[in-house]
């Protein structure tokens, strides 16, 4: 693999996609995962062991919660992220244990501080719509790189797409880089995040964009 996608998702939108078990989603962007491009399930014998991250537990629950299953003792989401992505990221020395992988993701979350930056830029959950180009430009201006922004397409009778996920890309040296794939690079991994019947895809620049303040 060549780069890492560091994905934040907006809990309210995640709940909109699959509302069966969502209770009071956090009102801040949380971590979805840290994903090497083009690699999944690299070592099926390296099992997730929650005791290895016990020191990170309070941060994990706060910044990397399982939005869809809100009980605090569930570790299924983290296990899934480790099995699918962490075992692949572990080829890098800085990510080569469960503690390092989850710990580094938490560090990157603080470093990017997406919640703090969006507020500074005046982009906050609202019942009025945003222009996607304005959100993109604000992020690119601040971070110096182009992130990948994913939305829920409008449902029947809706005019706006709903912002759901913002991914930042890092090199193997953990330097921020543009997420835009070069012409010859396809990225089959994570093209779509599917939950329930709806899925996220790259946001349209032309549709009005809804940044939902609460679960409808």
- Residue numbers annotated as active site: 32, 81, 85
Structure tokens at 57: 């537990």
Question: CA 111: distance to chain centroid?
Answer: 15
Cβ–Cβ < 8 Å for 41, 52: no
Q: Comparing C-alpha atoms, which of 162, 158, 120 is closest to residue 139? A: 120
Q: Is 151 left (phi over 0), alpha (psi -120 to 50) or beta?
A: beta
Query: In sequence order, what DSSP letters do the residues of 174-200 get, joined into one string?
Result: --EE--PPPTT----TTS-EEETTEEE
Q: Comparing C-alpha atoms, which of 112, 134, 109 is closest to residue 121? A: 134
Q: Comparing C-alpha atoms, which of 211, 149, 210 is closest to residue 179? A: 149
> H or E element: which one contains 63?
helix 57-63
Q: Comparing C-alpha atoms, which of 207, 195, 202 is closest to residue 13? A: 195
């Amino acid at each position: 693999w060549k780069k890492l996608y560091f994905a934040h998702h907006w809990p309210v939108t995640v709940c909109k996609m699959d509302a069966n078990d969502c209770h009071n989603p956090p009102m801040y962007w949380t971590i979805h995962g840290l994903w090497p491009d083009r690699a999944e399930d690299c070592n099926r014998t390296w099992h997730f062991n929650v005791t290895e991250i016990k020191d990170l537990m309070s941060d994990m629950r706060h910044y990397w919660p399982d939005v869809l299953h809100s009980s605090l003792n569930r570790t299924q989401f983290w296990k899934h992220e480790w099995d699918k992505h962490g075992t692949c990221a572990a080829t890098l020395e800085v990510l080569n244990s469960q503690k390092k992988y989850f710990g580094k993701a938490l560090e990157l979350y603080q470093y990017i501080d997406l919640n703090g930056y969006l507020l500074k830029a005046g982009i906050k959950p609202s019942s009025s719509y945003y222009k996607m180009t304005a959100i993109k430009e604000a992020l690119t201006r601040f971070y110096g790189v182009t992130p990948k922004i994913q939305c829920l397409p409008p449902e029947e009778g809706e005019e706006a797409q709903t912002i759901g996920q913002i991914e930042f890309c890092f090199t193997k040296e953990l330097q921020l880089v543009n997420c835009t794939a070069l012409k010859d690079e396809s990225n089959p991994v994570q093209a779509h995040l599917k939950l329930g019947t709806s899925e996220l895809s790259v946001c349209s620049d032309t549709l009005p964009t809804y940044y939902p303040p609460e679960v409808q």
